[in-house]
Amino acid sequence: MSRQAVSVVRYGSAELLAAATADRLLTALADAQAARGVAHLSLTGGTIGGKTLAAVAGAAGRDAVDWRRVHFWWSDERFLPTGDPERNATQAQDALLDALDLDVSTVHYPPATDGPDGDDLDAAAARYAAELLQFGDGAEVPAFDVLLLGMGPDGHVASLFPGHPGLARDESSVVGIRESPKPPPLRVSFTFGAIARARQVWLVAAGAEKAAAVARGVAAGEVSETPAAGVFGTERTLWLVDEAAAADL
């Protein structure tokens, strides 16, 4: 994790933020495919993350990306049965993935409670880590071209919550989270180490309730208090925010 400079880009509303992030994402994925053939994209849950995916689905430039050569990952997932409407993967499918021509082998769904490990959260987290390792080109996880992160009002990203024991679990790329303060209580999450492999990390936040955490995150405050302050890409770290979320900057 390096304390490099971050950039902040502001938009007039949450809708503009989602539309602009969608366009930015299409460009980044097309550029990655031009440079390296395939692109690795890590998705996020959350409101603005979902709006961004819906904006991608409706974007004019959608076909600039060869979706069969995009590897989809999730930086966190709620540990629930496949297809549960609360799962981030289900929400991504409804907002975007169902509308795309995809190669299912490149959609790396996070573990679900009806998977091979059943409700064994730690085994499920280890299984996702093993899948990431397969695509890591010698590292634990791929160098994600874009890793999207929503942020909670408390400054959490993925399922890394302030003051939570999961924060310190950096021995693997994926950690099982128990007693999440945001429901549901069981989750799997990338660790800071996994996130730090991304070329570009984009933190996307909208709404006045996020303003204080945005300010602490941009100022690279204490990570145990504001986990968003501890995520950086190797090439770029961008905060994409609406005016309400930027109010305390």
Ligand X SMILES: O=C(O)[C@H](O)[C@@H](O)[C@H](O)[C@H](O)COP(=O)(O)O
- Burial of 34 by CB count in 10 Å (0-12 exposed, 13-18 middle, 19+ buried)? exposed
Kindly list the distances between the CA atom of residue 27 and the CA atoms of 22, 49, 145, in Å, as whole numbers in the listed order.
9, 17, 11
Of 41, 46, 95, 132, which one interacts with ligand X (CB under 6 A)?
46
Residues 75-104 that bind ligand X (CB under 6 A): 76, 78, 88
**Strand pairing of 187-190 and 174-177?**
antiparallel
Q: Are 159 and 187 in contact (CB under 8 A)?
A: yes
- Of 47, 181, 193, 234, the one binding ligand X by CB under 6 A: 47
Give the one residue of 18, 25, 49, 227 binding ligand X; rule: CB under 6 A: 49
The Cα 191–Cα 176 span in angstroms is 10
Piece of the chain touching ligand X by CB under 6 A; list 47-55, 102-110, 136-144, 195-203? 47-55
Least distance to ligand X, CB of residue 184, Å: 9
Member of 6, 45, 107, 203 binding ligand X (CB under 6 A): 45
- The verdict on 176 binding ligand X (CB under 6 A) reads no
**Triad 205, 209, 215: Cα angle to 5°:** 65
Within 58-181, where are the H helices?
Answer: 88-95, 121-134
| From candidates 6, 32, 42, 44, binder to ligand X by CB under 6 A | 44
Q: One symbol per residue from 178 to 207: x for binding ligand X (CB under 6 A), - otherwise; what is it?
A: ----x-------------------------
Residue 40's nearest CA partner among 203, 227, 233 is: 233
Closest CA to 95 of 68, 143, 62: 62
Binding-site string for ligand X from residue 132 to residue 161, where x marks contact by CB under 6 A and - marks none: ------------------xxx---xxx---
Q: Which residues bind ligand X (CB under 6 A)?
A: 44-49, 76, 78, 88, 150-152, 156-158, 182
